[in-house]
Amino acid sequence: MNIAQMMKQAQQMQRKLQEAQTELSNAEFSAIAGNGAVTVICDGQGKFKSIKLEKSALNPENPESVDNDTVEMLEDLITQAMQKATSDATAEMQSKMKSLTGGINIPGLF
């Protein structure tokens, strides 16, 4: 196999990898816990997107005592904290990988 063919195959593989990453970032996966009391949604890359809480998750004995504003406030706070933690973890991982690869961008590593 000559070098031109190898380069062409490498470019095709890189393009397919980028397409797969885009497809995964657009996908959504949800998980439900507590008989539907909590629903979490992540993208296909494992990044947290949102959380949905039912009133019963906050007060199982008397869910109607919980107002909608409280539920929305907690959802927003949890979402912000999870997104910040995910962002910080991703930035740290990218920094470590960059130092290991000498700054070379290797698709699929981060």
- pLDDT one-digit tens code per residue, 57-83: 999 999 999 999 999 999 999 999 999
Domains of the chain, by residue range, sit at: 3-101
**In this predicted structure, what is the pLDDT of residue 72?**
96
Residue 75 sits at φ, ψ, to 5 deg, of -60, -45
* pTM of structure: 0.70
Instruction: Check: CB of residue 99 under 8 Å from CB of residue 110.
Output: no
**In this predicted structure, what is the pLDDT of residue 99?**
82
Residue reference for tokens 């996908």 = 27
Centroid of chain to Cα 35 = 23
CATH class name, domain 3-101: alpha beta
